[in-house]
Amino acid sequence: MSYTVKIKEEISNIKNSNSEIVAELAGFIRNSGGFTKNSIKMSTENKFILERIQTFLQDMYNTDSKIEVIENLNFSKKKLYQIVLKDSSNAILKSLGILDHNNKLINPTPEYIIGGNSEIRAYLRGVFLSTGSINDPKKSRYHLELVLKDPKETVLVQKLLNLFDLNAKILNRDKGFMIYIKEAEKISDFIKIIGAPKAVLYFEDVRVYRDQKNKTNRLNNMEQANMDKVIETAANQLSDIEVIEKNDGVMLLDDKVKTALEYRKKYPEASLKELAEIISLETNKKITKSGLNHRLRKIKDLADNFKKMSE
C-alpha cells in the first residue's frame, strides 16, 4: 500500500459534522471530474473512499447508490470502483455549491461552503481524496501534488492552502494544473491539516532520520576534506624538506626550524595541531600551532629559493 493510500485510508475514518460533510463532498465531487447537470459519476481505485462518499450521500440526501466495478482504462491492474447518481443529482449539486438555481456551474466554490476553518480543512480533505498524492518521505524528494482541471478552482485551492502558510505553487500542465508543495515541513503541516496524525508521525520519523543522516554525511565529508587537506599539506612540506636536503641546505636553518623539519619527517601524517602537541611533549618546549606554522613557512621559503636557483 502506497503512502498516499495510507493517508487517504486514515482520513476516510474521520467523523464530520454536517457542514464538514458538505464541504468534503463539494471538494471531492467538484474535482472528480464526473458531474453534469443530470448526473454525478465518481470513480476511484480505492473502494474505501467511495464507501465514505456513499455514506455521506445517504446521511445527507437519503440517496440509494451502489458501488460497481468498472473497466480500468489507466493500464492499471487495480480494480476501478464507481458510483453513478442520477435521481436528485441536481439538488445535490446545488446543495454543494456546484450548480446555481439555473443549473449553471458556480465557479469557484462559494464562500458559504468553506466559511469556517473546519470546513476549509474538510474541503481540502475532499480535494485530496479526489486528486491528491504525496511521495513516501523515504524517497529521494519530498513532493505533494493536487491535479485540477479548472483554473479558477486551482487558484481557490491554492489560496486555501496558503491560508495555512503552506507555500503552495501552481504549475500549468497539458491537461490541467498541478498545485504542488516541496518543503518537507509544509507537507507535514498539510497532512496535519487534513487530519492524519499517524501519517504525520511516520512522515516526521522519516524526515528526522533523513535530516540526521544528511547531517552525518556532511560531517563525514567535511572530516574527509580536512583529512585530505592535512595529507596534501604534509606531502608538500616533505617535498620542500627533500629539496633542502638535496641542496645541503639544512645547515642554513636555525635550531628551532631544524626541530620542526625533523619532527615533520618523523610524523609525516600528523596535522599541524597534532605535530605542535607532539613537539611540545617530547622536547618540553611549548610550541603553538601558529608558531610551528611559522617555522614550516621558513622551510618552504628556503625550498622555493633552491627551486628558483635550479631554474
- Say if 206 falls within a structural domain: no
Q: Is there a single domain that holds both residue 93 and residue 37?
A: yes
Q: Is 17 exposed, middle or buried (0-12, 13-18, 19+ CB in 10 A)?
A: exposed
**Are residue 177 and residue 249 in the same domain, yes or no?**
no
Domain membership flag for residue 18 = yes
| Number of structural domains the chain divides into | 2
Ranges 45-54, 62-71, 168-177, 281-290: which has the least confidence: 62-71
Q: Are 96 and 217 in a shared domain?
A: no
- Pair 167, 220 in one domain: no
Using CA atoms, how far apart are residues 265 and 277, in angstroms rounded to an integer?
15
Please report the pLDDT score of residue 33 as a whole number: 65
Report how far residue 82's alpha carbon sits from residue 75's, in angstroms, rounded to the nearest whole number. 17
Task: State the residue range of the domain holding 153.
Answer: 3-195
62-107 pLDDT, tens per residue? 888 888 888 776 666 678 888 888 878 888 999 999 998 888 889 8
Are 14 and 77 members of one domain?
A: yes
Percent of the chain with pLDDT over 90: 62
CATH code, domain with 57: 3.10.28.10
- β-pair partners for 44: 81
Q: Indicate if 235 and 280 belong to the same structural domain.
A: yes
State pLDDT tens for residues 138-152.
886 899 999 999 999
**Based on the domain organization, do 154 and 65 belong to the same domain?**
yes
Residues 19 and 145 in one domain: yes
pLDDT, position 74: 65
Q: Flag whether 75 is in a domain.
A: yes
Which phi and psi angles does 268 have, rounded to 5°? -65, -20
State whether 173 and 291 are in the same domain.
Answer: no
pLDDT confidence of residue 32: 85
Residue 203 lies inside a defined structural domain of this protein: no
Three-state DSSP at 44 gives: strand
Q: Is the pLDDT of residue 251 over 80?
A: yes
Regarding whether 225 and 181 lie in a shared domain, the answer is no
C-alpha distance from residue 3 to each of 20, 36, 58, 128 (Å)? 25, 32, 29, 13
User: Which element (helix H / strand E) includes 201?
Assistant: helix 197-246
Pair 154, 148: CB distance under 8 Å: yes
Task: Please list, residue by residue across 180-203, b when 16 or more beta carbons sit within 10 angstroms of its beta carbon and e when fewer do.
Answer: bbeebebbbbbbbbbbbeebbebb
Same domain (yes/no): 264, 141: no
In 3D, which of 116, 128, 118 has the Cα closest to residue 199? 128
Is residue 276 within 8 A of residue 291, CB to CB? The reply is yes
Domain membership of residue 200 (yes or no) is no
pLDDT band at residue 162 under the 50/70/90 scheme: very high
* DSSP 8-state symbol, 147: E
Is 205 contained in some domain?
no
- Decide if 166 contacts 190 (C-beta within 8 A): yes
Among the candidates 195, 229, 262, a domain finishes at 195
Mean pLDDT of 24-37: 86
Q: What mean pLDDT, rounded, does the chain reach? A: 90
Q: Which residue has the higher pLDDT, 121 or 63?
A: 121
